[in-house]
A and B are shown apart, each in its own frame.
Chain A
């Protein structure tokens, strides 16, 4: 367990820049998520940390030591792959034991640690099964146990939940985050799923086109997005241009009213469409200037309802308006 530091880390393939010189410090025991759309360089960054290919520029330090020149098998990094990459010819137990066998540990110690690791991921009874005889969720647990059993300095998770069905995915989110906190292991998690990122992370680094747009806690990222990209990529957002400024307002922070509000940001418009979401109602408006806006109102029985075609006021308090710079600050 150690701090992980990336400095000016870059990777290019010919003329294509995959990672454009990023700086990132992951604290000891921290759960850091690299979040971004596909092709933003997050998986490449993970591969660079693991040492699967060399960087074009920059350095990587784990626990203060440079590791760029070390081959992957000397880095002591646990990796869980998107497709799990279990060894199909080995049983779950043998898969988990692999890393310890490579370290030439005594056989009794291997047996104890493998059993502990399998119990940690609640697979104690399925050790003799091969990957093909396990469900997707069970394979994922084997992959996790296999990465954890070597007691790695850093744990890397490459979209490990994307192959699971929705319900299992939501369970595993909580379980993996809980396990990570219990073990206190420095973790880098790669995902394109903002929901996963918000629920699981201590901090999130939002990536776009090979760069990091913003690093911050989930609430910082969601509530104080630094760039338009971050504001658009995470959650939904209404944008208003006001001269040189761009204002951003979350749909759930906006209000609807029949009369013009006393202060704050306000625009008049017409209800174009009402979507019934169960827990909330989503109003889609066309404002007088021709702009579109969305308001999400909780379905708590207290809020007045508006019909399609009705004239309404869209408004938000000053504290709910973020000013966004088009470029990075």
Chain B
């Protein structure tokens, strides 16, 4: 085989396994009967109708709220953290870096169990649910936001800040007029990564839910115990489309693709 046809085969292979499950899931959701057959038999929208009932919409909206808030909070926390870690040498810097980026290495499952115990021992059981989930999600999303912002701080052109200072900009003015606009894509990318990570998390969330306050992923996992119904296929497709749509919108608005794919010099 020539090198090019080998490469082509690998690409086809990757696409089949990436897109195949999505295509099959989408197709299954249009089955006429209650059985998850592929290719689907007949055509009906009844499973989609059921997917849009409160039973599924409530956890979906819950997930959206949780992910948006987790992305917002972790980005706001990540900004000063990234500045401190990328710019300054201070005692305890290594410890702070390890603490901030640690959850990236730790299985979210472990973080979840730990947080659950913490809330129990601290006598804060009543916060389990949305509040505990938010804390947990911020913890696991923070590394993504800190890393992307720190990377964009490192790629900041040399001297632009001192140039701003020489032109009469105070540190605050230089930050607002020069640094923030230049790391904007990094901040947005960090927020998007955080949103997606929060929205798709199930490992951590499992431990911190309470009835009526559970994200869509946990709800799907719970439903799976009764078998895979076409309703679930429809719900999965919706769950897939929401973050995808958000990323697409943000990408259009901010040139995020350049950051994610490091495609070309920014500026």
Q: Which residues of A contact B (CB under 8 A)?
A: 50-52, 71-79, 81, 83, 85-89, 98-99, 101-103, 130-132, 146-147, 150
Contact = CB atoms under 8 A, between A and B. Distances in A.
Nearest to B182: A89
Given A85-B159, A98-B167, A146-B167, 12 more contacts: A52-B165, A71-B165, A72-B166, A73-B166, A74-B168, A78-B166, A85-B158, A86-B163, A88-B267, A102-B167, A102-B177, A130-B267
Nearest to B265: A132
A88 B165 contact: no
A88 B267 CA distance: 5
Interface in B231-267: 265-267
A75 B167 CA distance: 9
The 8 closest A-B pairs by CB, nearest first: A88-B267, A99-B167, A85-B159, A85-B163, A102-B168, A72-B165, A79-B166, A89-B181
Interface string B180-207: 0110000000000000000000000000
B26 interface: no
B168 A99 contact: yes
Nearest to B158: A83
Contacts, number: 76
A4 to B, nearest CB: 15
14 contacts: A52-B162, A71-B170, A73-B166, A73-B167, A73-B169, A76-B168, A79-B166, A86-B160, A86-B163, A89-B267, A98-B169, A101-B177, A102-B169, A103-B168
Nearest to A47: B162
A64 B186 CA distance: 45
B207 to A, nearest CB: 43
Contacts of A78: 166
A179 to B, nearest CB: 19
A73 B175 CA distance: 13
A86 B182 CA distance: 12
B191 to A, nearest CB: 19
Nearest to A76: B168
Nearest to B169: A102
A74 B166 CA distance: 8
B173 A81 contact: no
Nearest to A146: B167
Contacts of B104: none
Contacts of A102: 164, 167-169, 173, 177
Interface in B128-187: 157-160, 162-170, 173, 177-178, 181-182
A98 B177 contact: yes
Contacts of A146: 167
Nearest to A94: B177
Contact of B165 (A73, A101, A103, A150): A73
Contacts of A81: 159, 162-163
B168 to A, nearest CB: 4
B168 A131 contact: no
A150 B167 contact: yes
A72 B167 CA distance: 8
B166 A50 contact: yes
A267 B165 CA distance: 59
A154 B202 CA distance: 61
B157 A83 contact: yes
Contact of A88 (B157, B169, B170): B157
A72 B169 CA distance: 9
A72 B170 CA distance: 9
A74 B181 CA distance: 23
User: In this complex, which of B157, B163, B173, B181 has the most chain A Cβ atoms within 10 angstroms of its Cβ?
Assistant: B163
A88 B166 contact: no
A74 B171 CA distance: 12
B181 A85 contact: no
A89 B176 CA distance: 13
A74 B159 CA distance: 18
